[in-house]
Structure 1
Amino acid sequence: MSRPLVRLLCTIWTEASIRWTSTLWYLRAFGRWATGSHGAFRHPAHTAEARELTAAWESTWPGSEPRGFLIREHRDRFVRFHSLPGSKRYADNAEECAEILRRHHAVITWISDDAPVEDLVVIAADWGPRDLVSGWSRRHLPAAWPWRQFRDADNDGIVTYFWVASRLSNSDLDAVLTAVADDKGSAIVTDTRASWLYCPYDGGADVVLPSALARDALRDQFPHWLPTAC
């Protein structure tokens, strides 16, 4: 087979693959829109619980949105932990999956002063039907309610929809933490006063505490889980 023919066939195959991938993406997005299984909502909840959370958030984190990467400006109260030895990012087996959850729970238990899981609050970020992971929060937190929206003017005007769930079970929290660890969602764990923020990501967690003193105490509690540079 001649080289020009090989190049032509490769070009045809590449274009066909791109078209098929694009078509599949549009079909999935349409399916999420048609079934209402996406992460967008028109109106936030107007309940006492929603008002209390908004007041607590604005009092503690004024001018910040509930996204992990947007709250790292609080450098004086911020610490990062890795969720696997050697700063490994993703789990390859059941033992590593268990280690990720063990570390998450250990830190959350410490910063929450051993509060029961049902007293924690999860703020889950989600997106409209065109996003590939849209609807993840509603699958893992079916009792979540719509809280607020954020339009990122610096990122093509993408709208993030925040869903909130409380009175969680251990399995609810594990499902969220596992989804985030697999890069299938984004969430923050906090208390009802939003006095601290635990922001898991695929590879670890960022934590923001009420004071630098509390941050230092937490960092000293789990020194072997800190990034190497720390």
Structure 2
Amino acid sequence: MRPDPLAWWQSQFGEIAPRGHLLRRAFGVNWVRFHSLPDSKRYAESLDEYAELHSRHFLVASALFSAGEPLYVFRAHIGETKLRGKARHQLAGRQFREDVAVLPTESLGQDGEDRMHVRALVSKWKPDFFEAAIRLLADWQEVGISFVSPSTKNIFCPYDGGMDVFTFSIAPEDLRARFALWRSARPDGL
């Protein structure tokens, strides 16, 4: 039977769209944020900085996911781009399913954000796909992506500048301690 990641998401998280800022409001006790680069620098400007960015994302994601583990990859956008012809929505060469869930966001108080269009694809924890996706996100060529383990419910939401992590199988304090140098100095963790 073909897995249905959109139905799974709604059964586990209801009508909360898989976006870090929305999940943080609902699951703040499970949340940790890490920065991609030293001193909270947002964008990489050299090969060394890209290497650091990829290393941090890979190490944090590897703490959440096991090699070869099935993952659902979600993309949630406020607006949905209409594609023409045979074009399909994709991320780093992998095609999203044509099924779309439209989730309300007004319950979380987002002004002007009343609906999120969510697409999904089924993948496995593989560094090659992950690295390509992280590069797109780090350069702000892609937004609103979340990697989720259906077995542990762990969620990895990378963005340009860092990653929001929601852990249900590991204590958030353990991740905070393990990657303490990559956290914000701000009291709210942002």
Task: Please indicate the TM-score interval, normalised by the length of the shorter structure.
Answer: 0.7 to 0.9
Which of 107, 113, 116 is 2:60 aligned to? 107
1:85-143 CA deviation, whole Å, 9 max, x = no partner?
0000000011111111110110111122xx1155333212353149xxxx895152433
TM-score, with length taken from structure 2: 0.78
The structure-2 alpha-carbon separation of the partners of 1:147 and 1:207, relative to structure 1 and needing over 3 Å to count, comes to farther
SS of corresponding position for 1:217: helix
Q: Which has the higher contact order (CA 8 A, sep 6+)?
A: 2
Q: Please state if 1:70 is matched with 2:22.
A: yes
Match of 1:226 among 180, 183, 186: 183
Output one character per residue of 1:145-202: Cα deviation in whole Å (capped at 9) or x when no partner: 2343225564265652413231364222111111111112220011133611111111
Q: Secondary structure at the match of 2:100?
A: strand
What percentage of residue pairs aligned between the two structures are identical? 28
Distance 1:89 1:143 in 2: 28
Task: Tell me the alpha carbon deviations over residues 21-43 of structure 1, each in whole angstroms, 9 at most, x when there is no partner.
Answer: xxxxxxxxxxxxxxxxxxxxxxx
Answer yes or no: is the 8 Å Cα contact 1:119–1:192 preserved in 2: yes
SS in 1 for 2:3: helix
1:97 equivalent in structure 2: 50
Q: Distance in 1 between matches of 2:63 and 2:23?
A: 21
Q: Is the 8 A contact 1:181 1:202 kept in 2?
A: yes
Q: Is the 8 A contact 2:6 2:119 kept in 1?
A: no
> What is the alpha-carbon root mean square deviation over aligned residues?
2.7
Structure 1: segments with no counterpart, 5+ residues = 1-46
Q: What is the TM-score of this pair, normalised by structure 1?
A: 0.66
Specify whether residues 70 and 194 from structure 1 end up closer, same or farther in structure 2 by C-alpha distance, changes over 3 A only: farther
Aligned pair 1:120/2:71, yes or no? Answer: yes
2:12 paired residue number: 60
2:174 maps to 1:217 = yes
Write the distance in 1 (CA, Å) between the matches of 2:115 and 2:24.
20
Amino acid at match of 1:193: S
Alignment correspondent of 1:184: 141
Stretches of structure 2 that go unaligned for 5 or more consecutive residues are none
Give the number of equivalent residue pairs: 175
Mapped contact 2:54–2:131 kept (Cα < 8 A): yes
8 A Cα contact 1:83 1:100, kept in partner:
yes
C-alpha separation in 2, matches of 1:199 and 1:123 = 10
Within 5 Å, which residues of 2 pair with 1:144-183? 144-150=96-102, 154-155=111-112, 159-167=116-124, 169-183=126-140
Larger Rg: 1
Equivalent residue number for residue 205 of structure 1: 163
